[in-house]
A and B are shown apart, each in its own frame.
Chain A
Amino acid sequence: MSTAVKLEAKSVAAPVEMMTVNVNGRSVSVPKLMPDHNGKPVPTTMLQACQVAGVEVPHYCYHPKLPIAGNCRMCLVEFGLPMMGADRKPILNEDGSPKIAKQVLPYDPSQPRGAIACATPISPGMEIYADSIATQQMREGVLESLLINHPLDCPICDQAGECKLQEYSVEHGQATSRFVEEKVHKPKRVDLGPRIVLDDERCILCSRCVRFTRDIVGDDALGFVNRGSYNTLTHFPGKPFDNNYTLNTVDLCPVGALTSKDFRFQMRVWFLKETKSVCTSCATGCNILMGSREGKIHRYEPRQNDAVNSCWMCDEGRLNYKWIGREDRLKTVMIRRGNAPQVVGKWPIALAEISARLNAAIPGSVAIIGSSRQTTEELWLLAKIAKKLGAKTDTKVREGEADKLLVNADRNPNSTGARLTGFLTEKAGNNIRAIVEGLKVGSIKTLLVFGEDITTLGISSALLDTVDCLIVSEILPNATTAKANYLLPGCAHAEKRGTLINIKGRVQKFMKAVEQPGEARPEWEFLNELAANIAGHHRFVSIEGLFNAMAQDIQPLNGLTWSSLGDQGVTIAI
């Protein structure tokens, strides 16, 4: 049994106390306590019991990761409780089953009394009628009320296609409006902060955004003013809504009130292809969905993973995608011989020449500067090559400021992978000085660079001119690529598959969203070829085979396979 699997098993708690309730005529056993938004066990609600039973209860303000507000009333359901006699014993039907009293209005017993499923705890023997006529009527009533002042501007609304108001209107709403009066008009296109625009007429006042920024982020920036008919979501004038998590409110907003300035009017959401991926902006490795269409990425959205990022991601990571589609991406192999300028080359020629050069190199005369932005597979292949050549290795250190929620101080997404694969034999940044010295005295004649501009690491352009052979794999042009003898165009993570290991040892895979430009190739493909030519390594034909072989080779990954990673990844002991 692998360490990975053991770790998962350890987190399973002691047997939980169960309770039986009835949902839509079916008995279900549900835990008496279930986690609240903080993960603290609290009495299970009717909504959670319905979820266990596989019955969806429509809701707007409820969100599993936010404190419960209970203000939208959409989750109202009709319910019944076992009748109790004066002796505090249940009253039984003739067949011995407990008699259930449907809950009714105290002042009009002919009318059912609904309860909001999101905030009503279950009790033994409770019956929930999530599909009854009364429940349906309550939903119709709530929707009608929500739509009274709604502008119904769906054709130009960014939320259209992923709007709860639209979805529930289709399912539970009425085809015609009975409202003949003038709608209340509220502020439109409000500049709430640097990344958010608010349309107050679309807002249904669910307060998800208010609770998120107050209780999750700790920046109590949003609130409701003019409570009553003119109830309006806003920020305090002169205090813009500007923290590093504001764009999560756009995801949370069940309607089109909060929109992202970046994504607004860019693309209809139903055209977007969603690809499961991982954010590469820091060592946290938030799970994301990439929304792309016709080879262009339009947005990142967080993907729920309670072991990593819950339902959130930071604005900085979310907006860090534009470079992928840049016009000046490297698209062709370039070869430069001697002092001649770079000319367009071919992959087979470049790889054969590089292999021959490296095979002929004197042990110790090669250095490799990789990147902790590379995938684990790429770093593992590089490590094999480095070992064979006796090469000194290093990566670029990226440090920033950490915050309390998600952002890690390490801005490289795969520092753990660089360490575990054996690519880094020392602390990152420790070997760079020795490599610079080696280049200066001429003991290092061949330099491999992957995904970093090494002129930012104290290796000047002039010094690069003195290197016998500079082999560079990059995505975007920089001062290092300009000097390369062999320039190999690589792929952004959105254009290939691979795994990253986050700061806590979560091994996570990401999938390909868009095609790479020109002749660019995923790095693992050509590293695979070089490793075979130089280190006599097996030639892998798929990323699955490569990962599985790597997992056999690296002790902490032992027992893992590509498919066992699933969508959410696996935590290993590091």
Chain B
Amino acid sequence: MSDPREFSSAVQPMVNPLASSPQFHVSAELEAEVQELISHYPEKRSAVLMVLHEVQERFGFISQESVMWISGKLDLQPINVLELVTFYPMFRQQPVGKYQVKICRTLSCALGGAYELHEHVCNRLGLDAHAHGIQTSKDKMFSVEFVECLASCGTAPAMMVNEDFQEGVTTQNADLMIHECRKKGN
């Protein structure tokens, strides 16, 4: 592709931040769950974050189709929901790996070697440590991202692998983690 800054009058379609999921299907169970969530709030739109969590829980990420469905359910425009999804980094805009590695980069962990740890993990998994946002490995096993404070400043650097919390992580610990996850496989 040519330099995107090159002068040209040809217009381009917008880059879609959300992955498409043509198979997006709403089960009766999800429908009922969303109705239940909506009933907790005086206004429909107030339920939007909870509904997004519910959808991500079930599908693993927020697809373009799911945003259309959610906005319809809550009497919102899809752009309103997209604004939210792109604001919170924990809402996934693309399918992510089976193991989601979150490395804390807030002050204590940054001083404690979080950047070195992040670079090491990325290099091990063939990812670009300097790219913006979450990175997913080709085999869809791992996703790596920086997060803000995991509330373990005394034992920096801290890291989470899915729901498993790890403290004082060294590059050896990280290698071991990768090895064990691979062993568990899919």
Contacts and interface: CB of A to CB of B under 8 A. Distances in A.
A191 B87 contact: no
B9 A191 contact: no
B133 to A, nearest CB: 9
A217 interface: no
B11 interface: yes
Contacts of B18: 237
Interface stretch (A227-235, A307-315, A335-343, A452-460): A227-235
Contacts of B27: none
Interface in A189-212: 189-192, 197
B6 to A, nearest CB: 9
B41 interface: no
A264 B64 contact: no
A181 B127 CA distance: 24
A265 interface: yes
B87 A192 contact: no
Given A156-B7, A189-B10, A220 B80 contact: yes
A159 to B, nearest CB: 15
Contact of B12 (A189, A220, A236): A189
Contact of B11 (A197, A227, A235): A197
A227 B5 contact: no
Given A188-B5, A220-B77, A236-B78, A225 B86 contact: yes
A215 B139 CA distance: 46
A185 to B, nearest CB: 7
Among B16, B80, B86, residue most surrounded by chain A Cβ atoms (within 10 Å):
B86
Nearest to B77: A220
A189 B79 contact: no
Interface in A394-428: none
Nearest to B86: A225
Contacts of B4: 185, 188
Interface in B1-27: 4-5, 7-18
A235 B14 contact: yes
Report the contact-size class of chain A (Cβ under 8 Å from the partner). Answer: 20 to 34
A152 to B, nearest CB: 12
A265 B14 contact: no
B132 interface: yes
A185 B5 contact: yes
A223 interface: yes
Interface of B: 4-5, 7-18, 64, 67, 77-80, 82-83, 86-87, 132
Given A188-B5, A220-B79, 19 more contacts: A185-B4, A185-B5, A188-B4, A189-B9, A189-B10, A189-B12, A192-B14, A220-B77, A221-B79, A226-B17, A226-B87, A227-B83, A227-B87, A230-B132, A234-B79, A234-B82, A235-B79, A238-B64, A239-B79
28 contacts: A185-B4, A187-B15, A188-B4, A189-B8, A189-B9, A190-B11, A190-B12, A191-B12, A191-B13, A191-B14, A192-B14, A220-B79, A220-B80, A221-B79, A223-B83, A224-B83, A225-B82, A225-B86, A227-B83, A234-B14, A234-B82, A235-B14, A236-B78, A237-B14, A238-B64, A239-B78, A264-B9, A265-B9
